[in-house]
Amino acid sequence: MAERPDSIPLLKQITCPTQIIGGELDLATPVSDAKLMADHIPGARLAVIPGAAHLSNVEQPDIFTQIVRSFASDLAKGR
C-alpha cells in the first residue's frame, strides 16, 4: 500500500454523502488521516470514537452504531 499512488486529489470527486469514522487510538489509520479525508471530501462528516483503535465498530460498538444511525437518519431526512 505504501507504493501505491497518492489518491488524495481524487477525494474531491466524491459526490455522495460521506461519513468518516476513526478511532482515537488507531495507529494504522490515525485521526490525522481521517481528518485529511474529511477535509478533502465535499460535505464529509468526521466522527472520532474515543478509546477505540482500528476496529472501532468492535471496540466501541454502541458509539459506532449511534454514529451510523445518526448519519442514516439525516440522509433519510434529506440533510
| Model pLDDT for residues 40-66, shown as the tens digit of each residue | 999 999 999 999 999 999 999 999 999
Question: CB pairs under 8 A, 24+ apart, for 35-44?
Answer: 36/8, 37/11, 40/8, 40/11, 40/12, 41/11, 41/12, 41/14, 42/12, 42/14, 42/15, 43/17, 43/18, 44/14, 44/18, 44/19, 44/20
Q: Which CATH architecture has domain 16-76?
A: 3-Layer(aba) Sandwich (3.40)
Q: How far apart are CA 36 and CA 38, in angstroms?
A: 5
Q: Where exactly are the structural domains of the chain?
A: 16-76
- Give the per-residue pLDDT at 1: 62
Which of the two residues, 2 and 70, has the higher pLDDT score?
70
Block residue for cell numbers 460521506? 18
Q: Give the confidence band of 13 by pLDDT, cuts at 50, 70, 90.
A: very high
